[in-house]
Amino acid sequence: MNKSVKNKISIKDNEKFFSSGIKDKIFVVIPAFNEEDKIVAVIRQVQKYFKNIVVIDDNSSDNTLDLSRATGALVLHHIINRGQGAALETGTKYALGKGADIIVHFDADGQFLPIEIAKIIEPILSGEFDIVTGTRFMDKESNMPIFKKYFIMPVARFIMRTLYKSELTDPQNGFRAFNRKVAKELNIENDGSAHCTEIIVKTLKNKWRYKEVSITVRYDNFGASIFSGKGRGAGGLKILKSLFYQKLIK
Amino acid sequence: MQQIIAIAIVLFFVFRLIGQKRKNSISQVEFYLWLFFWIFSALIVIFIKQVDLLVAYLGFSSTGIDVLLYLSIAVLFYLLFRIRIKMEKIEKDITTLVRENSIHDK
């Protein structure tokens, strides 16, 4: 891990969680679809900080399900692939049933750093905010591909600003945490990757207190493009299509 | 001759419709809806001259059959739209079922 990043994360934050017992009420929800290469490492890293890890296998065709179960994490299995948004809602609902006070959404592909969960939870623990989302644009820690950084993301921000009057800098960031109140009211309806937009829209509509926190994102050979993405409803155009139909069936 | 062919096509679909009803593949309401549609189509074919007059009276420059064709395309687009919306709703229901199943299986 980048040393400077590690130092920026308040170690005191972690100590606060581990000493207060609140960590028992923190659930990390990880949706996984065909992530056999990375899922075990991701779960093991998160397990260093939190014991309540809910993995939702979205009907992977590889060994993601068995590998996840072997780690001792709480593993749910979708018998049909439903998309990342659907998997997140399943995990959130399950965590609520288990008494979660804070729920963290975390990716299974190793893009995010588990140590930064402390950073994203802190504003909620302090009681000042209801929902905190990660952003890749407050500093330059991430090695985001140029096309994504200078084309896809500005377009996404423009759409969010124009349609929803959102000033958030990173509308498609999947690293977020929220409290129980938000989890109960959220009810993610968009099965695919458009859930990110849906969450922002609901945050603004419900006037939840929100904050963006700078996070690190590591890019390897993954990430959705305009046309493609992993799983149902992923990829830029599919996201726009989902948002359109979502509006119609309301 | 064209009218005879058109009527034959309509009759073919009416017989198929009756067959589907006998096999209970469609509901009573759906059966009558489609029966009405085909009878209506047959009446238009039989009284095509009167339809031409009606269309001209309404101010259209095309023939009756042209106007009906345009209208049918508009109706088809609308039905396609309705089906797409219905499919989205079914997808949502499937997600709900899959979710409940995964949580209860745990």
ipTM at complex level? 0.77
CB contact under 8 A, A77 and B105: yes
As a whole number, the mean pLDDT across chain A is 84
Query: Is B57 among the domain residues?
Result: no
Q: Does B98 lie at the interface with A, CB-CB under 8 angstroms? A: yes
d(CA A78, CA A86): 9
The percentage of residues in chain A with a pLDDT greater than 90, rounded to a whole number, is 60
Asked whether the beta carbons of A36 and A67 are under 8 A apart, the reply is: yes
**Within 10 A of A86 (CB to CB), how many other CB atoms are there?**
32
CB contact under 8 A, A86 and B105: no
Q: Residue A218: in which H helix or E strand, if any? A: none
Query: Is B1 among the domain residues?
Result: yes
Substitution target in A58, A68, A80, A232 with the highest count of B β-carbons within 10 Å is A80
Tokens of A20: 């207060």
Query: Is B18 among the domain residues?
Result: yes
What sign does the dihedral A78-A215-A99-A93 (CA atoms) show?
negative
Tell me: do B41 and B66 sit in the same domain: no
Q: Does A250 lie at the interface with B, CB-CB under 8 angstroms? A: no
Tell me: do B40 and B70 sit in the same domain: no
pLDDT level of residue B62 (50, 70, 90 thresholds) = confident
- Domain span at residue B33? 1-46
Residue of B nearest to A82 (CA): B95
Return the pLDDT at A184.
97
Q: Residue A78: in which H helix or E strand, if any? A: none
Nearest to A56 by CA among A88, A27, A21, A15: A88
Query: Which positions 63-92 of A are in contact with B (Cβ < 8 Å)?
Result: 74-80, 82, 86, 89-90
> CA A234 from chain center: how many Å?
14
CB contact under 8 A, B84 and A74: no
Tell me: do B66 and B94 sit in the same domain: yes
Tell me: do B30 and B68 sit in the same domain: no
Residue of B nearest to A249 (CA): B85
**Residues A224-244: pLDDT tens digits?**
444 445 667 666 666 666 666
Tell me: do B1 and B33 sit in the same domain: yes
Query: Is B54 among the domain residues?
Result: no
Beta bridge partners of B20: none
d(CA B58, CA B61): 9
Tell me: do B33 and B69 sit in the same domain: no
Tell me: do B1 and B42 sit in the same domain: yes
Is B31 buried (19+), middle (13-18) or exposed (0-12) by CB count in 10 A?
A: middle
Nearest to A162 by CA among A243, A228, A245: A243
Question: Quick check: A9 pLDDT over 50?
Answer: no
d(CA B47, CA B57): 15
Name residue, tokens 């949580």.
Answer: B103
Tokens of B25: 């593949």
Query: Is B51 among the domain residues?
Result: no
Beta bridge partners of A133: A176, A212
Give contacts of A249 with chain B, Cβ < 8 Å: 85, 88-89, 92
Q: Which has the minimum average pLDDT: A10-24, A152-166, A169-183, A222-236?
A: A222-236
Q: Does B99 lie at the interface with A, CB-CB under 8 angstroms? A: yes
Asked whether the beta carbons of A180 and A96 are under 8 A apart, the reply is: yes
Tell me: do B71 and B33 sit in the same domain: no
Nearest-Cα distance to chain A for B98, in Å, is 6
Substitution target in A191, A195, A198, A246 with the highest count of B β-carbons within 10 Å is A191
pTM: 0.77
A34: left (phi over 0), alpha (psi -120 to 50) or beta: left
**Residues A84-131: pLDDT tens digits?**
999 999 999 999 999 999 999 999 999 999 999 999 999 999 999 999
Q: Does B104 lie at the interface with A, CB-CB under 8 angstroms? A: no
Query: Is B38 among the domain residues?
Result: yes
Substitution target in A55, A68, A89, A245 with the highest count of B β-carbons within 10 Å is A245
Nearest-Cα distance to chain B for A61, in Å, is 17
pLDDT level of residue B67 (50, 70, 90 thresholds) = confident
Nearest-Cα distance to chain A for B81, in Å, is 10
Query: Is B88 among the domain residues?
Result: yes
Tell me: do B39 and B75 sit in the same domain: no
Tell me: do B32 and B70 sit in the same domain: no
d(CA A120, CA A17): 12
CB contact under 8 A, A245 and B102: no
CB contact under 8 A, B103 and A76: yes
Tell me: do B26 and B66 sit in the same domain: no
Tell me: do B38 and B76 sit in the same domain: no
Domain count, chain B: 2
Asked whether the beta carbons of A121 and A177 are under 8 A apart, the reply is: yes
Q: Which of B85, B94, B103 sits opposite A80 (nearest CB)?
A: B94
